[in-house]
Amino acid sequence: MSPDLIAIAVLLAPGGLLGPVCLAGHRRARIRDQAEAAVCAAFRPTGAPDPEPPPKGRMKATPQRPHERLATVIDFPSHRRNAA
């Protein structure tokens, strides 16, 4: 066999094997997308009542506890020597 035919077979074989699989996946995705679009187009919102509006004026917040004392922060030097 000529090297050109071998190169063509090597380059086209994966496409020949994976092409139908990819096309089938795209077809399934298109069918699913069309079904989802049909469901979205058929949706009609119900006459649900609106939520209650917030009260007017200021609202009282719950009192916050004072912050607890934090641990002491130790300042490490930026350049430490390696004690070996």
From residue 2, alpha-carbon distances to 7, 8, 9, 14 in Å are: 9, 10, 11, 20
Which pLDDT value is given to residue 69? Answer: 75
0.85 exceeded by pTM: no
Residue 54 scores a pLDDT above 80: no
Which helix H or strand E contains 6, and what residues bound it? helix 3-42
Both structure tokens of 83: 């004690």
> What average pLDDT score do residues 76-83 get?
68
